Structure 1
Amino acid sequence: MPRSTPPARLRALMLLLLLGLTAACSGTGTPGAADDREAASTGTATTTTGSADVAAELSALFARLSPESAGAADCFGAALSADLGDEELREAGLLDGAGSAAAQMPSLDRGPAGSWVDAWFGCVDFVSVVGRAQAKATRGLDEAGFRDCLRDALDDEELRSAAVDGLAGDAGSESVRRLGQAQATCADRHS
């Protein structure tokens, strides 16, 4: 077995940790992402209920889960709070009854998982995050080559589908399997 291809169970665990504990996008972002980033950076973003505190709480949750910049966390908080109302965020377990962010990342249903991924992919380059994580796990990885390979292997919708499935706890889905296989193949080619 090539040194950069972990056993299937370990690869699945790495993918779940990556999907559950980091945040990102596949290059161009989603429609409106630039507007969300601009709103977050200028402080003009609002939530569906107008509560800037909710966006700040979601930003704090994102920052705890992701090594990305404060700007990315602010973008994420603004985007997610604009997509989901306070009650939806509470029902998903992302906010508690007092409106504070969850202490840990909850398991998400598909609807909130999709909103999370849309905010995530709109604010951070998912493939770059996967590349950094793979570079830490694979000695000698050509990170730029790995990223290009992964972008060639999976389109934006396939990456989004894998991220939603991972956050929704469907680690056995075809999209998660394809992402894991693409990661392993690209790591082999570029290490």
Structure 2
Amino acid sequence: MQNSLLRHWRVKRLKLRIWNRRLQESLREIAAEFGPSIACSVHVRWGPFFGGSMTVGRRLRRAKIMIQLPYDGYLTANERQVLSRYSLKKTMLPYFILYHEAAHLLEIMPYIGSADLHGLKRHVAAHRRLAAEAASSPSPAYRDLAFEEEADRYAYRMIVKNRRQAG
């Protein structure tokens, strides 16, 4: 019993390291779009569902993209919608999340490049307000917000580009 639990834990840890390495490589491929003004890293961890977030350091010099993989492979309705809308396989979802968060980083790059902290705060506040309005509507449609659709389109373009390069 103890050996099987230990083996299970080792396999999970290995899977996490493999995903981390794969996503680091994908991030290196698109890092040229960010330019030398910001250093970006990706961190993968386990969680209850697929998810992603992006944080930028206080000095606007470092960005961190965090991707969460589900323990059990559970898909939420939002993730199923993305898979069906873009005809993706479940194994492509971590890449999609990485590119989606990278699109949000590219969206704020003009503020980071000019060190316009007040403009960045206004931009983020406007997005939060739109997201709060979408969440409070009778049928929450967060994915239908313009900035989310644009990030999804960028992620899909990057996945298609990688598929073409792979053959």
Q: Which of the five TM-score ranges fits, normalised by the shorter chain? A: 0.3 to 0.5
TM-score, structure 1 as length reference: 0.31
Structure with higher Rg: it is 2
Question: Higher strand share goes to which structure?
Answer: 2
TM-score, structure 2 as length reference: 0.34
